[in-house]
Chains A and B, each alone.
Chain A
Amino acid sequence: MDLLIDISLLTFLAVTAIGIIRITNLFAVIMLFAIFSFLSATLFMTMDAVDVALTEAAVGAGISTVLMLATLALNKDHNEKQPDKNRHWLPLAVVLTTGAVLVYGTLDLPDFGDPASAPQTHVAPHYIEKAIEETGVPNIVTAVLASYRGFDTLGEVVVIFTAGIAVLLLLGGRREDPLDDGAKDKRVPQNLVLRIVSKIVIPVIMLFALYVQFHGDYGPGGGFQAGVIMSAAIILYSLVFGLGAAERIIPKSVLMFLTSLGVLIFAGVGIASLFLGGNYLNYSVLASSQVAGQHIGILLVELGVGITVFAVMLTIFFAFAGRERS
């Protein structure tokens, strides 16, 4: 049964990929990208990688679709340029060669879930056996992500932070006239049904984001997913009520503050553990007992991740959506 589900999901993935290549309407391509992400998320689900599936569904299918649509809205032409017919063979050769090399590379990979493979025999048994004992966090993924591999996660957060700064540098320089907001809002159709439905739904989405954030120790979820879901709520608000209204709720200065605040919380927890006599990002010294310290550390670090991801996603969205169609 699992095999059947895997095969049909992979077939759908392949069909979607071919569709993405063949279709020249960029709007349809973006929708296919979203479908592709959802299919991968389902595939991760069948592999029991629930945290990854949640991330893929929230980031891949949710936010990146919105960002790509915002980018598309800036372009007049919604169709891909037809490439030169005579030069098809060169890209095809490159793609086929790369694909063949990649497939050849997979031959050396261990089987899925192979207990004798290198990653499973090194530190994974330690994580699985000792995670609850050492960190008191039932969700091992969160324990690994925030505690054992905390330094890697700090790097990821800094990458997101840098991405946000880069987008601000490239697109955010143009200050808008605040009086322009009224004119901007008129572009949004005053749709009663959408307004009421989003008023019902947005608080639920925010509540769910908080649940994912603070329940990440026990179930799938954590800062990355929660930040994305929370920013999705604000993006929905700005899509329905207009960009000006959303920017009045969360001004750009607040967003910039939050972007750095998250990274600072994360790095600050590390520095705090340094001062308390532990290694950098060793949370065990934060409280009297090891488990309590780990719990505080993981909670704070995930909060930092969530805040930064939330702020960067919104920064990027505002930067793209705030630009006039040129």
Chain B
Amino acid sequence: MVLDILSWVCLVAGGLVGVVGAVGIHRFPDFFSRQHATGTTDTLCALLILLGLGLQAGLSLAAFKVALIFLFLFITSPAATHALASAAVHSGLDPKRGRTDSEGQS
């Protein structure tokens, strides 16, 4: 019962974090701040949701697989964010500085 509540708390919190990231993508002005919004929330969102699912599964093979998925995401997701950001820098995209109008990056 306690585990069930805990797992639902994790699932809902993970969903909320994901929504926050999505709002960030829409509201932030340029590529890098959008990257920041998704890159940071993505991993936490996955962590919370997978933790919730793992708690639902209990100590079983399914929980082990969930842990493996998390480990994989924990490595690849920040790496993907980093690759995107560094590709943007390489192709000459500069971050917006200071106050400008809310026009998005093209």
Contacts and interface: CB of A to CB of B under 8 A. Distances in A.
Q: How large is the interface on B (under 10, 10 to 19, 20 to 34, 35 or more residues)?
A: under 10
Contacts of B9: none
A95 to B, nearest CB: 30
Q: For chain A, what secondary structure do more than half of its interface residues adopt (helix, strand, loop), or is it mixed?
A: helix
Nearest to A240: B83
Contacts of A198: 79
A20 to B, nearest CB: 19
B82 A194 contact: yes
A189 B72 contact: no
A194 B79 contact: yes
B76 interface: yes
B67 to A, nearest CB: 13
Contacts of A189: 86, 90
Contacts of A193: 79, 82-83, 86
B75 interface: yes
Nearest to A204: B72
A197 B76 contact: yes
A204 B90 CA distance: 29
B76 A201 contact: yes
A236 B86 CA distance: 17
B1 to A, nearest CB: 22
A106 interface: no
A6 to B, nearest CB: 19
Interface in A160-207: 189, 191, 193-194, 197-198, 200-201, 204
B75 A200 contact: yes
Contacts of B72: 201, 204
A66 to B, nearest CB: 14
A186 to B, nearest CB: 13
Contacts of B76: 197, 201
A286 B90 CA distance: 58
Nearest to B86: A191
A191 B82 CA distance: 10
| Residue of B79, B82, B86, B90 most packed against chain A (CB within 10 A) | B79
A204 B76 CA distance: 12
A228 B72 CA distance: 18
Interface in B83-103: 83, 86, 90
A194 B75 contact: no
A197 B81 CA distance: 12
Contacts of A191: 83, 86
A201 B75 contact: yes
Contacts of A197: 75-76, 79
Contact of B83 (A194, A200, A201, A204): A194
A19 to B, nearest CB: 15
Contacts of B79: 193-194, 197-198, 201
Interface string B52-96: 000000000000000000001001100100110010001000000
Interface in A18-67: none
A183 B18 CA distance: 42
A191 B75 CA distance: 16
A187 to B, nearest CB: 11
A320 to B, nearest CB: 19
Given A193-B82, A194-B83, A201-B79, 15 more contacts: A189-B86, A189-B90, A191-B83, A191-B86, A193-B83, A194-B79, A194-B82, A197-B75, A197-B79, A198-B79, A200-B75, A201-B72, A201-B75, A201-B76, A204-B72
15 contacts: A189-B86, A189-B90, A191-B86, A193-B79, A193-B82, A193-B86, A194-B79, A194-B82, A194-B83, A197-B75, A198-B79, A201-B72, A201-B75, A201-B76, A201-B79
The 10 A-B residue pairs with the shortest CB-CB distance, nearest first, are: A197-B79, A193-B82, A194-B83, A189-B90, A197-B75, A200-B75, A191-B86, A201-B76, A193-B79, A201-B75
